[in-house]
Structure 1
């Protein structure tokens, strides 16, 4: 039996799960935050609400830009992730665009605020199932109600 630990390779964030805060999203699409807020308020842009944070999927921004430029609604993103894949606490925090302290708070089922995300131990490392993170994001997503992405959680 080898005494050397197996090297850990980080799991890349799938494109449809990359979340940005409003300021980063505005910089990415080169518009003002107020413009994004108007799109969100009008229901043209789907959002993910985690606690008191409003986050936007990069795929939603790209789909809205493509729909605006071409006048057609692009197909929805593929949600293919390897079954049973896991990420570390730092990676999960990066996926959800929150701090690791928020993840620790969400791990407590008695906490009334925020969503619930259950960590699992793998040796000394605390990990989260990618399927749980995807389910959390999807559960807290609000679809667009008008415009070219209406009814979609892009």
Structure 2
């Protein structure tokens, strides 16, 4: 599986695997696992074993913990263009899962998709909704969402 093309999903929805997040954070995988387990870093579980971290969440977490870091303009989220239709393989690549996992998501109705000309198409908006709905929010730290 390969990383999705930037045109498929907005940069805000780019996903890291745990090792990629550790590399980006210059930390170990066990440190990233601890951030997730402690509830400080939101994570997305896809399928039985795959745990992914949104790029935007990781960078926000790192920025909140590094007072010497100046924001990089390249990290600013681009406006979301969620009007595109993704193919089955493009959506699998964006979620970094196999076609079998995509089959399961389609079968249980977790991910909205449509038949177009005999092929499955997934709206980028539906993929973004899936990522948002299945990301476990941070329960502590600077990314925690506290009820008003």
- With the shorter chain as reference, the TM-score category is 0.7 to 0.9
In structure 1, C-alpha distance between the alignment counterparts of 2:6 and 2:116, rounded to whole Å? 15
Matched, 1:35 2:34: no
In structure 2, C-alpha distance between the alignment counterparts of 1:121 and 1:10, rounded to whole Å? 24
When residues 67 and 87 of structure 1 are mapped into structure 2, their CA distance, relative to the original with a 3 A threshold, is: same
Please give the secondary structure, in 2, of the residue aligned with 1:70.
Answer: coil
Q: For residue 51 of structure 1, what is the aligned residue in structure 2?
A: 47
Q: For residue 102 of structure 2, what is the aligned residue in structure 1?
A: 103
Aligned partner (choices 20, 25, 30) of residue 24 of structure 1 = 20
Q: For residue 80 of structure 1, what is the aligned residue in structure 2?
A: 80
Quote the offset at 1:139 in angstroms: 0.9
In structure 2, C-alpha distance between the alignment counterparts of 1:10 and 1:77, rounded to whole Å? 12
Contact 1:44 1:144 in 2 (8 A): yes
Please identify runs of 4+ aligned residues in structure 1 that moved more than 6 A. none
In structure 2, C-alpha distance between the alignment counterparts of 1:79 and 1:139, rounded to whole Å? 20
Whose radius of gyration is greater, 1 or 2?
1
Aligned partner (choices 38, 57, 62) of residue 60 of structure 1 = 57
Unaligned runs of 5+ in 1: 1-8, 110-114
Please give the secondary structure, in 1, of the residue aligned with 2:126.
Answer: helix
Which has the larger helix fraction? 2
Q: Normalization by structure 1: what TM-score?
A: 0.75
When residues 141 and 77 of structure 1 are mapped into structure 2, their CA distance, relative to the original with a 3 A threshold, is: farther
Contact 2:8 2:124 in 1 (8 A): no
Q: Normalization by structure 2: what TM-score?
A: 0.78
Aligned partner (choices 111, 119, 129) of residue 117 of structure 1 = 111
Please give the secondary structure, in 2, of the residue aligned with 1:149.
Answer: coil
CA RMSD of aligned residues (A): 2.8
In structure 2, C-alpha distance between the alignment counterparts of 1:10 and 1:44, rounded to whole Å? 27
Quote the offset at 1:57 in angstroms: 0.6
